[in-house]
Amino acid sequence: MRFAVIAAVCSVALAACAPVTSSGPAAQTGDEKTGQLRVWLFDEVNRAPKEEVVKEAVAEFQAAHSGVTVDVQYIQVATRAERFKAAFSDPKSAPDVAEFGNTDLAGYVAAGGFADISKEVSDWADAKDFVPAVLDTAKVEGKVYGLPWYVGVRALYYRTDVFTELGVQPPKTLDEIAPLARRIRAAKPDLLGISAGGKYTFGMLPFVWANGGDLAAVAGAKYAAKIDSAESRKGVAAYTELLADDICPPSQCAANGGDASVEAFRAGKAAMVIGGDFNRKSVDASAAAGKYAVVPLPGTTAGSIAPAFAGGNLLGVMKGTERRTLANQFLQLLGGKQYQRKMFQAMGNLPTFADVQADVAKNDAFEQPFIKTLEAGTRFVPITSTWAKIDAQAVIPTMLQQIAAEGVDVETATKTAAESMNAVFTS
Amino acid sequence: MARGHRLPRGDGRAALAYLTPALLVLGGLMAYPIYQLVLISLFDYGQEQVSGGAPLVFLGLGNYTELLADKQFWTVLWQTVGFAATCVVGTLVVGAALAVLATRVRTWARTLLFLAALGAWATPAVAGSTIWLFLFDANFGLVNEVLGSTGFSWTFDRWTAFGLVAAQVVWCSFPFVMVTLYAGIKAIPQEVVEAAALDGASTVRTARSVLLPLLRPLILVVTIQSVIWDFKVFTQIYVMTSGGGIAGRNLVLNVYAYQQAFAASEYGLGATIGVVMTALLLLITIGYLRALRKSGEEL
C-alpha cells in the first residue's frame, strides 16, 4: 500500500515536471546608446600585443561615443564551451560582443546565442572586400552571424637544411609526399619523414578534398556523410599512409593533434609538417628557426594546391544584447580594415579582407604560400550544429587511429565513421 | 542494528526528530539531484533545450534503448569493470601490506612511510597524472632512461596504457586503505592478541581467526569505497591517455559519458549513463553486503 502511494506520488511528480530550461536569450529588449559594452575576446599564449591593439580600439571607440565604456574580458580557449553555454543560459552574465571560433558557429547559433547581423553587414561598405569563402564561414543558412576577424590556413613547412643536404625538392603533388618522406626517414632515421597525427583532422582534410571527397554533403534538409565515398577513401588512405613506421611511427604519431604534430617539427625531429600561418612565431622560436621554408600543400596534379581548411575566428553580437547598435559599431571598428592590419602586425593574424591580404603579402614573403592557398580556394566543415557533436565524439580521429594503429582497413573504418556521422546528422 | 524488538512509540518519534536534520541534508544533496538526473535522462536534453532555443521532447526510455543498443557502450562497460577490479585489488593489497608493515617497523620508518603516502594522497589527480606522464614519457622520461628503453611509448599499447593508469590509480588511492587499516590494527586490544598467543595460535592463525574478523567492518568500508572510486575513474584516464587512448581503446565509462554526452552537449544521454552507473554501483554494493551477511557477518 505504502509503495503504491509512493509510486503514485512519484509518477505525478515526474509528469508534472520537466528539466530546467531557460527562457533563452530574449531577442533584444532595447537598444541603449550609452552605458557599458561588454566584450569577450580569447586569451592567447602571448596576449600582450593583442591587448595593446584592443586597448587602442577601445580608446578610439570611447572617444567617439560619449557615455560609453567598453569592458574587455579575456576568456580561455580551453574552457570556452562552458563559458558560452553559461552565457547562453543566463543572458545577464553574457557579453554584448564576443570572439569565437568559426567551427563553433553553427552550434552557438542553434543554441540561440548570436544575433543575425546580415543587414548590418550588407549595409557596411567595407564588407564587399571580404574574401567570399571566408565570409561563408560566418554564415548559417545564408544568414551572417559574425564578422570574420582573421583566418587561419595551413601549408607545408619543410626543413631547408635537410632538403639541401639530401638534394631533394619540396613535393609537387600530394602523392609525392609519402615516397619523399620515406626517403628522408631512410636517410635520417631519427627524423620523422613528415610529422602527421592521428588526431590532426585539419591536416587530413586537404587530402580528402584534393581527391574530390568530402566529410559530408547536404542531402535534402540534412547532411549525409560522404567520408566513405571512393574519393574520400582515397584521401584518407593517402593521409594514413603517412602514419607508418617508415614515415611517422604510430606509437609516436597516432595520438598527436595539430599542436603536437607541429611540436615535433619545432623540436627539430621532423623534416616536414602541415602547419598554420599562426604557428610561425612559435616555429621561429624553436630548433627549426631559420632552417625552414613553407610551400602550399600541393594538390593531386603538379602546380595545383590542395584545398585547405578555412579556420579562423569571428566577432559576433550576442542575441540578448541591450546595445545592438553600439555592439555592431564596435564590431566594425575592431573587425575593420585598420585594426585587422594592426592585429596582423601585432599577432600575425591573417586579415579577412582581400585587399588587406594582398597588401600584407606584398611586404612579407612568409605569408605568400598561405595567401596563395587562400586564393586557390578553401573548404570548411559541415555548417550544422550537429558537427560540434561529431567533433566532440572524436569520430574522425577515431577513424584515423583505427586505420593507423588498430590495423582496421580504410573501407571498414570510413564506413563506421560514416555511420556514426549519419546517426548524429539525422538525430 | 536493533532488530527483533520494537521501540516504544514515543522513542520512535524522538528518533525521527533527531534524524530530521540529517534526512533533510541527505534529501537536498542526494535525493533531489538523483531525481533531476533520472528526469533529464527521459528527455532529449541538449544545449539548445537548456538555453531555450528548441522545445523539450519527452523520450521516455528512448535514451536507455539507444545506449543499451550501442556496441561500444558494452565494450566500455566491460573494460571499466575489469579496470576497476584490477585497481581495487591492487589498492587493497598494497594498502593492507603497507599497513601491516607500518605496525612492524620503527617509528622513524613509519613516519617516513606515512609522509610518502600522505604526499601521494594529497597530490591532485591532474597533477599526479601529469607527473606520471612525465616520468613515463617516451623520449624524455626518467623510467625509459633507467630501463634503457628510450622511445618506447607506454601509452600507445592498450594494455601498457591501462597498466600505467591502473598503477597511478593505485598509487593515489592506497594511502586511504593503508591509514584506515593501520588505525584498525592499532585499535585491536593487545590483550586479545596475547590471549591468542597464550592459547598457542600461530601468527597466520592469529591473523585469520582474530585480526581479520575484528578488521572486517573496516575492510568492508575501504572495499566499497575503492569499488566506487575506481569505477568512476575519470581524471587519470582522461589525462594520461589523452581522452581515452588511440581510437578510444582505453575508454572507461565516465570518460565515455563525458565524450559522448557532455562534451557533445547531449545531457539527456549523459544523464542516462549516469543513472546506469548509479544503478550498477548500487547493485554491486548490495550484492557485496549480501554476500558478507550470508557468510555470517552482522552489520
Q: CB distance from A22 to chain B under 8 Å?
A: yes
Helices (H), B153-252: 158-187, 190-198, 203-206, 212-231, 235-240
Would you say residue A181 lies in a domain?
Answer: yes
* CA-to-CA dists, residue A142 to A111, A118, A138, A145, A175, angstroms: 17, 9, 9, 10, 36
Q: Are A135 and A270 members of one domain? A: no
Q: CB distance from A389 to chain B under 8 Å?
A: yes
Q: How do the domains of chain B map onto residue ranges?
A: 64-294
C-alpha to C-alpha distance for B293 and B270, rounded to whole angstroms: 35
Question: Which sign does the torsion angle of CA A31, A37, A43, A44 carry?
Answer: positive
Task: Indicate the residue among A341, A358, A379 that finishes a domain.
Answer: A379
Q: Are A116 and A145 in contact (CB under 8 A)?
A: yes
Gap from B159 CA to chain A (nearest CA, Å):
13
C-alpha to C-alpha distance for B88 and B79, rounded to whole angstroms: 14
Residue A84: which CATH number? Answer: 3.40.190.10
C-alpha to C-alpha distance for A336 and A127, rounded to whole angstroms: 9
- Cβ of B246 within 8 Å of Cβ of A255? The answer is yes
Q: CB distance from A108 to chain B under 8 Å?
A: no
CB atoms within 10 A of CB A387: 23
Q: Which of A241, A192, A246, A234 is nearest to A209 (CA)?
A: A234
- Cβ of A21 within 8 Å of Cβ of B50? The answer is yes
Torsion angle (degrees, nearest 10) of CA B50, B51, B53, B54: 10
Q: Which of A266, A268, A275 is nearest to A297 (CA)?
A: A275
The β-bridge partners of A100 are A314
- Over residues A55-83, mean pLDDT: 91
pLDDT of residue A76: 86
- The pLDDT profile of chain B, 299 residues, written as one tens digit per residue, is 445 556 566 788 888 999 999 999 988 898 899 999 999 999 888 877 777 767 888 888 989 998 999 888 999 999 999 999 999 999 999 999 999 999 889 999 999 999 999 999 999 999 999 999 999 988 888 999 999 888 888 989 999 999 999 999 999 999 999 999 999 999 988 888 889 889 888 888 888 888 888 888 889 889 988 999 999 999 999 999 988 888 889 999 999 998 888 788 888 999 999 999 999 999 988 888 887 777 665 55
Helix or strand (DSSP H, E) at A275:
strand A272-276
Selected residue of A393, A400, A414 to mutate for chain B interface (largest B Cβ count, 10 A) = A393
Selected residue of B57, B246, B255 to mutate for chain A interface (largest A Cβ count, 10 A) = B246
Q: CB distance from A89 to chain B under 8 Å?
A: yes
C-alpha to C-alpha distance for A334 and A126, rounded to whole angstroms: 13
Gap from B40 CA to chain A (nearest CA, Å):
6
Is pLDDT at A14 greater than 60 in this prediction?
no
Q: Are A217 and A269 members of one domain? A: yes
- Cβ of A392 within 8 Å of Cβ of B264? The answer is yes
In sequence order, the 6+-apart residues with CB closer than 8 A to the CB of B198 are none
Cα A420 from chain centre: 22
- Cβ of B263 within 8 Å of Cβ of A392? The answer is yes
Q: Are A270 and A371 members of one domain? A: no
Helices (H), A241-317: 250-253, 258-266, 280-284
Q: Are A173 and A377 in contact (CB under 8 A)?
A: no
Considering only CB atoms, which chain A residues are within 8 Å of B244?
394
In sequence order, the 6+-apart residues with CB closer than 8 A to the CB of A203 are A154, A196, A197, A239, A258, A261, A274
Q: Are A325 and A347 members of one domain? A: yes
Of B281 and A3, more confident: B281
In sequence order, the 6+-apart residues with CB closer than 8 A to the CB of A254 are A197, A198, A243, A400, A401, A404, A405, B156, B246
Q: Are A290 and A331 members of one domain? A: no
Would you say residue A261 lies in a domain?
Answer: yes
DSSP code of A143? E
C-alpha to C-alpha distance for B209 and B153, rounded to whole angstroms: 46
pLDDT of residue A12: 45
Would you say residue A119 lies in a domain?
Answer: yes
Residue B57: Cβ-neighbour burial (10 angstroms; 0-12, 13-18, 19+): exposed
Q: Are A239 and A279 members of one domain? A: yes
C-alpha to C-alpha distance for B129 and A256, rounded to whole angstroms: 18
CB atoms within 10 A of CB B18: 10
Closest alpha carbon within chain B to A14: B39
C-alpha to C-alpha distance for B113 and B118, rounded to whole angstroms: 9
Q: CB distance from A18 to chain B under 8 Å?
A: yes
The β-bridge partners of A36 are A69
- Over residues A359-388, mean pLDDT: 88
- Over residues A316-344, mean pLDDT: 93
Would you say residue A405 lies in a domain?
Answer: yes
pLDDT of residue A153: 92
C-alpha to C-alpha distance for A234 and A274, rounded to whole angstroms: 19
pLDDT of residue B45: 86
Of A6 and A297, more confident: A297
pLDDT of residue B295: 66
Which contacts of B119-126 are long-range, i.e. CB under 8 A and separated by 24 or more positions?
A: B120/B171, B120/B172, B120/B174, B120/B175, B121/B172, B121/B175, B121/B176, B123/B172, B125/B172, B125/B235, B125/B236, B125/B239, B126/B235, B126/B239
Selected residue of A108, A199, A251, A414 to mutate for chain B interface (largest B Cβ count, 10 A) = A251
What is the number of structural domains in chain A? 2
Q: CB distance from A252 to chain B under 8 Å?
A: yes
Cell of B231: 569505477
In sequence order, the 6+-apart residues with CB closer than 8 A to the CB of A112 are A24, A25, A88, A319, B48, B51, B52, B53
Q: CB distance from A72 to chain B under 8 Å?
A: no
Q: Are A404 and A365 members of one domain? A: no
Average pLDDT value for chain A:
89
Closest alpha carbon within chain B to A269: B139
Residue A76: Cβ-neighbour burial (10 angstroms; 0-12, 13-18, 19+): exposed
Considering only CB atoms, which chain A residues are within 8 Å of B56?
18-19, 21
- HSE of A136, CA atoms in CB hemisphere, 13 A: 12
Nearest CB among B36, B152, B155 relative to A19 is that of B36
As a whole number of Å, the CA-based R_g of chain B is 24
Scored b (16 or more CB within 10 A) or e, B186-217 reads: eeeeeeebeebeeeebeeeebeeebbeeebee
Q: Are A299 and A203 members of one domain? A: yes
Gap from B235 CA to chain A (nearest CA, Å):
16
CATH number of B64-294: 1.10.3720.10
Closest alpha carbon within chain A to B47: A111
Q: CB distance from B140 to chain A under 8 Å?
A: no
Would you say residue A122 lies in a domain?
Answer: yes
C-alpha to C-alpha distance for B71 and A416, rounded to whole angstroms: 12
Considering only CB atoms, which chain A residues are within 8 Å of B260?
393
- Cβ of A112 within 8 Å of Cβ of B51? The answer is yes
Q: Are B155 and B148 in contact (CB under 8 A)?
A: no
Q: Give the Cα-Cα-Cα angle A124, A126, A131 (nearest 5 degrees).
A: 120
pLDDT of residue B12: 83
Gap from B36 CA to chain A (nearest CA, Å):
7
CB atoms within 10 A of CB A422: 18
Would you say residue A70 lies in a domain?
Answer: yes
Q: Are A234 and A269 members of one domain? A: yes
Considering only CB atoms, which chain A residues are within 8 Å of B39?
14, 17-19
- Over residues A404-416, mean pLDDT: 94
In sequence order, the 6+-apart residues with CB closer than 8 A to the CB of B104 are none
Count of CB contacts below 8 A, A vs B? 103
Scored b (16 or more CB within 10 A) or e, A340-349 reads: bbbbbebbbb
In sequence order, the 6+-apart residues with CB closer than 8 A to the CB of B14 are none
Gap from A254 CA to chain B (nearest CA, Å):
7
Scored b (16 or more CB within 10 A) or e, B76-85 reads: bbebbeebbe
Q: Are A237 and A293 members of one domain? A: yes
Cα B121 from chain centre: 14
- Cβ of A107 within 8 Å of Cβ of B54? The answer is no
First to last CA, chain B: 7
pLDDT of residue A113: 87
Q: Are A299 and A163 members of one domain? A: yes
pLDDT > 70 in chain A, percent: 93
Nearest CB among A21, A397, A402 relative to B52 is that of A21
C-alpha to C-alpha distance for B156 and B16, rounded to whole angstroms: 56
Domain of residue A164, residue span:
154-309+383-425
Would you say residue A2 lies in a domain?
Answer: no
DSSP one-letter string for A16-83: H----------S-S---SSEEEEEEEE--TT-HHHHHHHHHHHHHHHHHSTTEEEEEEEE-STTHHHH
Closest alpha carbon within chain A to B45: A19
Helices (H), A167-279: 174-187, 201-210, 230-240, 250-253, 258-266
Q: Which of A266, A31, A314 is nearest to A152 (CA)?
A: A314
Would you say residue A52 lies in a domain?
Answer: yes
Considering only CB atoms, which chain B residues are within 8 Å of A406?
246-247, 249
pLDDT of residue A77: 81
Q: Are A68 and A171 members of one domain? A: no
C-alpha to C-alpha distance for A250 and B247, rounded to whole angstroms: 12
DSSP code of B208? I
The β-bridge partners of A99 are A315
Q: SS3 string of B96-165?
A: HHHHHHHHHCCHHHHHHHHHHHHHHHHCCHHHHHHHHHHHCCCCCCHHHHHHCCCCCCCCCCHHHHHHHH
Q: CB distance from A83 to chain B under 8 Å?
A: no
Closest alpha carbon within chain A to B66: A423
Selected residue of A6, A10, A14, A21 to mutate for chain B interface (largest B Cβ count, 10 A) = A21
Q: Are A171 and A305 in contact (CB under 8 A)?
A: no
